[in-house]
Amino acid sequence: MSRITRFGVALILGLACLVAIPVQATLVHAADTRTAAVRVLRYDASRAAEFRSAVDQAAQIWNSSVSNVRLVAGSPADFVVLADNGWPRAQPTSLGRGTVWMGRQATAEGHNPLRIATHEIGHILGLPDRRTGRCTDLMSGASAGTNCTNPYPNAAEKAEVQRNFAGFAPAIDFGEIYVDSPERVAS
């Protein structure tokens, strides 16, 4: 083989390696980033009594609404869901952690249990009450009235959760108990 041919072959192989290595490294890096970006939150709804099914459905709604958070039933739990006779409320202690109370008072007054569960989990995901009165706003809570059964977060609420879990500061105060009772809803 001539010197020029050997040089040409070496040059082509060298260029092929330079192209292949960064592409492979980029693909591995992209896959690692995608995997690392999803935060799995475990919830314990074993004490949610008759609301257990609504809590599991609410978790699935959030799972289909955002891509960087995944809610799964299990322990140790990041947040716990309890049933009681009061008004529904949530106490986020940090992003993705806290306690949700599925109060029977709201369902006795006609509020939808699935909407309540999705709304209260929204607090755990860093969303505050907004009390807009619009049924399309999940975080409007009780201000939307008992006829509202929409359990789905709107585009802005989804985007806010995505931002929260991407490292932005949530618009809630951790440690505060969020109660969206009719007494707290502005007319």
Q: Kindly list the distances between the CA atom of residue 57 and the CA atoms of 13, 107, 138, in Å, as whole numbers in the listed order.
A: 55, 16, 15
Coil/strand/helix, residue 95: coil
Q: Which of 120, 157, 176, 183 is catalytic?
A: 120
Residues 6+ apart with CB under 8 A from 78: 41, 42, 43, 96, 97
CA atoms within 13 A on the CB side of 24: 6
The strand pairing partners of 84, in sequence order, are: 103
Specify whether 176 is catalytic: no
Q: Kindly list the distances between the CA atom of residue 21 and the CA atoms of 8, 9, 15, 29, 62, in Å, as whole numbers in the listed order.
A: 20, 18, 10, 12, 38
The answer to whether residues 90 and 124 touch, using CB atoms and an 8 Å cutoff, is yes
Write phi, then psi, for 102 (nearest 5 degrees): -90, 90
The encoded tokens of residue 109 equal 């007054």
Name the residues annotated as catalytic. Answer: 120
